[in-house]
Amino acid sequence: MSDGRCVFNVLKESGTSRFVKSLTPDSAVPNVKRAIALAESQDVKKRVLPFHQPRNVSRGCHFAYTLPEQRPHYRTLLKSVQTHADMDLKMDEKLEKLLSGEQVYYDESQGIFPYSTAYAGFQFGTFAGQLGDGRVVNLFDVQDNKGNWQTLQLKGSGLTPFSRFADGKAVLRSSIRELIISEALYHIGVPSSRALQLTLLPETRASRERKSEPCAVLCRVAPTWLRIGSFDLFRFRPHLKGLLGLTHFAIDEVFNGGKDFPRKRDLNIFRKDFFPNDGIEQGAEARNPVEGSTIYDEFYRHVINLNAKCVASWQTYGFMNGVLNTDNTSIMGLSLDYGPFNIMDQLKPDFTPNHDDIAGRYSFENQPSAIWWNLIMLGHDLSVLIGAGPSHIDKILSMQELSEELPAEVEKEVVNRANDVIALAGNEYKFTFLSEYANLMGKRIGIDLGLSSDLTNAEEIAAQSSQVHDFLSNILEPLLNILETTEVDYNHFFVKLQNYRGPLFDDDGAEGLSRSFLSLFLHAPQIEQLQAFKSGEIDINADSGGVRIVMGTVERLSQWAKEYVKFVPDEQKRSEIAKEVNPLFTPRAWMFDEVVDDFMDNQRTELNDPESKIDNSLLSKLFLMSSNPYDPSKWEESLRPDVQERWMNLEHESIREKYLKQATCSS
């Protein structure tokens, strides 16, 4: 592995800011030249107006120039070596200061100056008006080691024009959580933003829930930070030029001119709902086929398919976002803006990790529907573009404002076509989501279904849908029902099944199943109950219900095992397929709590002292294990071996007391 490139060499040679170059700034600071003049004419150690002045930004703008607020002290807590390597950036002091906000890079000739983006959003189903990057500053864009553009940004860097009534700060505990979960998900295989560096801010405090908490800055990176809320803004404040500018930026810069858009698959194939009883509320059915296609239809469908695949991976690994508002939903289908998230300990579909989500809108089982609801909102944002179709798009593009009146008949056609595109795309969303979900879950139990994500033929799509439906109905749903009843650790179960080498059937267990196979699904006391019943020590007629439940579960498990062996007759092949998708380690809420408590309870004084010695070992250990979920050899066994053993031992009874923990939105 090379040491990487010096950041200033990279910036001088190829650095840019695609957002700044392509889109419209708030009129208060109209260009980079003016932003630089403001930055250099005032004391940047103090708040600089209008960089740090919360306000309603000008209509039609996409961002506002700003600067990180200067803090008394900066201390780097952790750097992600792998993310630096993937970015091909040298981990030196120059980069470290940029990634903390201590120093700022700008260049008029390159069009680079820090900025915060404008967006709106629906929060828990209610429109919230202008939101925007209230504590985030975007720095610049550089290409990673694969030649892909990545946008670096600082979270917790201070007030911005979008801070509203907040303080622009991020507390240490939430910054630790995002640092670890973003890298954990990425390395598991779940689409996610990533983290480069966590910086502690000694002597900078934030008031949260009546407590004074230490603050931090997290430098994170993604190919784009555009979200559905970015488009919501132009329904909130209608502005055709602004909407078109944002849409074309997404098509041209984010999605490389639409080279991967679903042009070969006719949307009208999805006049049929291939999964009518899947539980996702799709909305009104399409009344008519849509004629022709435009780049805007394809853009919308591409965003839908990316998000369908992302939420399929969430459901596969038991990840729960906790706050799936439109302003937290990426157009690239990335997991981002981590708040009260969790990874499922035990399978409980109606669980929400968000303590404030009383109605369970964003519970685990509701995530696919919640994302689709957000995508419907995006369809409404783009309705004038996807509704126009080939027949009227030239007329729409020639309009100066959305307020211009269309002929009544044209307006009716635009509205009807937009509704039909959204409804058809809903069926495509379900097809993509369930195909990807079945593909991943099949592999987790050692079954390669051979599914394709690139089908264009109606007959092939129908055949794959039937195959997915059969797998879900006969294999997966019965298995998940069993896991929900037995309450074994969700992710750990798949690892145990992957590594299991014994017989499935034998007379030493119950219902023809072997005791060793039963132990994958049942806790030790449940196994003992079965054995006591089998030996006549327990009278089932006198039992209070516990044994009956276990026996009923074992009966269902026996039937499931008979179906399962039809798919996986080769034990070795089963294991090889499964180990590619089953992480050996997934971080849990109670582990995050241990790390946070180690700082907050044991090192409270040290965190506020820029000269103190801080013990980083617990944070480093969790980060190493989380960012190398398939490879224990990279966990540095000599570092806190006691912790590694405890975090990997999920069999003892007391562990369940820590499961399914909730958090608040406060960060």
CA distance 585 to 279: 30
How is residue 447 written in tokens?
């079954």
Selection from 576, 572, 623 nearest residue 595 by Cα: 623
Judge whether 345 counts as a catalytic residue: no
CA distance 410 to 522: 62
Start-to-end CA span in the chain (Å): 36
Query: Coil, strand or helix: which one is 201?
Result: strand
C-alpha to C-alpha distances, 557 to 9, 317, 483, 545, 616, nearest whole angstrom? 61, 22, 10, 18, 45
DSSP secondary-structure letter at 327? G
Q: Which residues contact 526 (CB under 8 A, 6 or more apart)?
A: 486, 550
How is residue 237 written in tokens?
């404040």
Q: Which residues contact 14 (CB under 8 A, 6 or more apart)?
A: 142, 143
* Secondary structure of 464-508 as H, E, C letters: HHHHHHHHHHHHHHHHHHHHHHHCCEHHHHHHHHHHCCCCCEEEE
Catalytic residue among 327, 337, 345, 357: 327
* Secondary structure of 26-73 as H, E, C letters: CCCCCCHHHHHHHHHHCCCCCCCCCCCCCCCCCCCCCEEECCCCCCCC
Question: To 5 degrees, how large is the angle CA 193–CA 194–CA 195?
Answer: 140
Long-range contacts of 391-398 (CB under 8 A, 24+ apart): 391/291, 391/292, 393/294, 393/296, 396/240, 397/244
CA distance 198 to 103: 15
Long-range contacts of 563-571 (CB under 8 A, 24+ apart): 563/474, 563/475, 563/478, 564/445, 564/475, 564/479, 564/504, 565/504, 567/447, 567/475, 568/445, 568/446, 568/447, 571/501
CB 428 within 8 A of CB 372: no
CA distance 459 to 366: 30
CA distance 334 to 186: 10
Q: For 362, list phi and psi in degrees, rounded to 5.
A: -110, 35
CA distance 211 to 339: 18
* Burial class of residue 135, CB neighbours in 10 A (0-12, 13-18, 19+): buried
Selection from 242, 378, 248 nearest residue 306 by Cα: 378
CA distance 390 to 342: 44
Q: For 480, list phi and psi in degrees, rounded to 5.
A: -65, -35
CB 68 within 8 A of CB 137: yes
DSSP secondary-structure letter at 257? G
CA distance 357 to 448: 37
Q: Which residues contact 312 (CB under 8 A, 6 or more apart)?
A: 432, 433, 434, 436, 437, 440
Residue recorded with tokens 């392509």: 22
Q: Which residues contact 382 (CB under 8 A, 6 or more apart)?
A: 231, 243, 247, 296, 299, 300, 418
Query: Which residues does the annotation mark as catalytic?
Result: 327
